[in-house]
Amino acid sequence: MGRVVVQFTCSECGATSGRWLGRCPGCSAFGTLVEELHGRESDRGGGLAAVPSRLGDVSAEATERLSTGVPELDRVLGGGLVPASLVLLGGEPGVGKSTILLTALGSVARDGRRALLVTGEESAAQVRLRAERLGGADDVRILAETELERVCATLERETPDVCVIDSVQTLHASELGSAPGTVAQVREAASRLLRVAKGSNVATILVGHVTKDGSVAGPRVLEHLVDCVLQFEGDRYNAHRILRATKNRFGSTNELGIFEMTATGLVGVPDPSTLFGRSEPGEIGAAVAVTLEGTRPLLLEIQALVSRTELAMPRRVGTGVDPKRLAMIVAVLGRHGGVSLGAADVFVNVAGGVRIDEPGADLAVALAIASASRGAPVREGLAAFGELGLTGRLRPGAQAERRLAECARLGVSLVVAPPAAVAIDRAATMLPAATLREALRLGIESLGEEADAA
């Protein structure tokens, strides 16, 4: 016999409990448990054994990926949308989720495939206005609907090639008592859409809102369910937006897409190195890092400011760099680089709002900080890469060859890197440095002559 199950679910982390608690046992947040009525437990399959098949006998047609018509989006997806896959696109309000997906749907439709937009947030007329601004998406089908059953039934009947749900938080299954956007609703919507996507061969993209800390709102379960999770980053006040995959069952998660928001929509930035990888000659506190995001080498300007502080705990503030990594670099600079920063605030910023996760950028961050601290510019036309060890020794980052090729392409004349990378020298003149101290001496010519600005 099925019965209605009452359970309490945390709206922050999705932890469940049989009774109401003031504090979530999962994430320790207060007052986040909400009552949720789960559907009737369906009668179980009766314990009948199923017959597993041999993997070699499973037929698998090589599926061709669907191009979204947005090259930067295709790249992050790993070469296009996989048919019948479920993709989650998260991002802060106003970052441009609806814009990029409408552009993609428009070009899918122009390619003669069926594209459907289910909008729960905006009216069809609003979407039409946006489409006009983006240069037309007339052949895209649009459905303004928030009822989950109707959305699923429509998908099963229309079987579009690509469907966008904007957003998954607006969908509502009436048999669950809770309001749209709650954990149970979002989870139900995603799992139903997953079944429809696989069953009717619809590549489905869900738009998800993000919480304050940047993760997709709703339970983590959503991220486990979908094939691919994309994050759209960048602030509203900066025209550049970064798209990256945090999970991808069909490709690498390191790929990066860079866009610029313009009046006619999001335009891909095909060559970000020329945009972000230049520093002004003679500028103090700036260094160029040769980073590698996925398969793509990227030159990025790193800026640093070092200022004397009265604080007992000096600040280390990084925009685009991991705070732990920054603290480590500052410590290694003090211990092994002769750049003492114990009484100074350190601020570091990465150009273009890009976030660097990769350790290969350590050396350039160290150079920028040392330059700011000593008041001496980094040598003109110089770029650097290398991972900084706690002992002050440098390790070459992954794929030194790719990085050097990018430097050569952009006409960077000098590259400071660990000696292991020198073997594959190209047009760039390599300055091998085994330790941080050597790298600082090579990178900052007048080091030591100027007084410590800090």
Ligand X SMILES: Nc1ncnc2c1ncn2[C@@H]1O[C@H](COP(=O)(O)OP(=O)(O)OP(=O)(O)O)[C@@H](O)[C@H]1O
Q: Are 332 and 390 in contact (CB under 8 A)?
A: yes
Count of chain residues binding ligand X (CB under 6 A)? 13
What sign does the dihedral 209-84-197-227 (CA atoms) show?
negative
Q: Per-residue contact track with Mg ion, 184 to 223, x per CB under 5 A?
A: ----------------------------------------
Pick 251 or 265: Cβ nearer ligand X:
265
- Give me the least distance between CB of 200 and ligand X, in Å please: 26
Pick 234 or 359: Cβ nearer ligand X:
234
Location of structure tokens 């961050």: 365
Could you say which residues in the range 219-238 bind ligand X, by CB under 6 A?
A: 236
Among 14, 78, 96, 397, contact with ligand X (rule: CB under 6 A): 96
Q: Give Cβ neighbours of residue 282 (< 8 Å, ≥ 6 apart).
A: 377, 380
- Give me the least distance between CB of 90 and ligand X, in Å please: 10
Closest of 70, 66, 402 to residue 258, by C-alpha:
70
Pick 94 or 323: Cβ nearer Mg ion:
94
- Give me the least distance between CB of 125 and ligand X, in Å please: 14
- Give me the least distance between CB of 126 and ligand X, in Å please: 9
Among 11, 67, 68, 99, contact with ligand X (rule: CB under 6 A): 99
- Give me the least distance between CB of 82 and ligand X, in Å please: 23
Using CB distances below 5 to 8 A depending on partner kind, what does residue 91 bind out of ligand X, Mg ion, none?
Answer: ligand X
Q: Is the peptide bond before 167 cis (omega within 30 degrees of 0)?
A: yes
Could you say which residues in the range 153-172 bind ligand X, by CB under 6 A?
A: none
Strands 86-91 and 16-17: unpaired
- Give me the least distance between CB of 106 and ligand X, in Å please: 13
Using CB distances below 5 to 8 A depending on partner kind, what does residue 261 bind out of ligand X, Mg ion, none?
Answer: ligand X
- Measured at the alpha carbon of residue 363, what is the angle toward residues 361 and 367, in degrees to the nearest 5? 120
Using CB distances below 5 to 8 A depending on partner kind, what does residue 9 bind out of Mg ion, ligand X, none?
Answer: none
Location of structure tokens 């941080």: 436
Among 91, 219, 337, 432, contact with ligand X (rule: CB under 6 A): 91
3-state secondary structure of 347: strand
Using CB distances below 5 to 8 A depending on partner kind, what does residue 181 bind out of Mg ion, ligand X, none?
Answer: none
Long-range contacts for 336-339 (Cβ within 8 Å, ≥24 apart)? 336/391, 336/392, 336/435, 336/436, 336/437, 337/366, 337/370, 337/392, 337/436, 337/437, 337/440, 338/437, 338/440, 339/369, 339/370, 339/373, 339/374, 339/440
Could you say which residues in the range 109-138 bind ligand X, by CB under 6 A?
A: 121, 133
What sign does the dihedral 169-173-178-184 (CA atoms) show?
negative
Q: Per-residue contact track with Mg ion, 79 to 108, x per CB under 5 A?
A: -------------------x----------
d(CA 385, CA 264): 36
Could you say which residues in the range 233-262 bind ligand X, by CB under 6 A?
A: 236, 261
Binding region for ligand X (CB under 6 A): 91, 93-99, 121, 133, 236, 261, 263
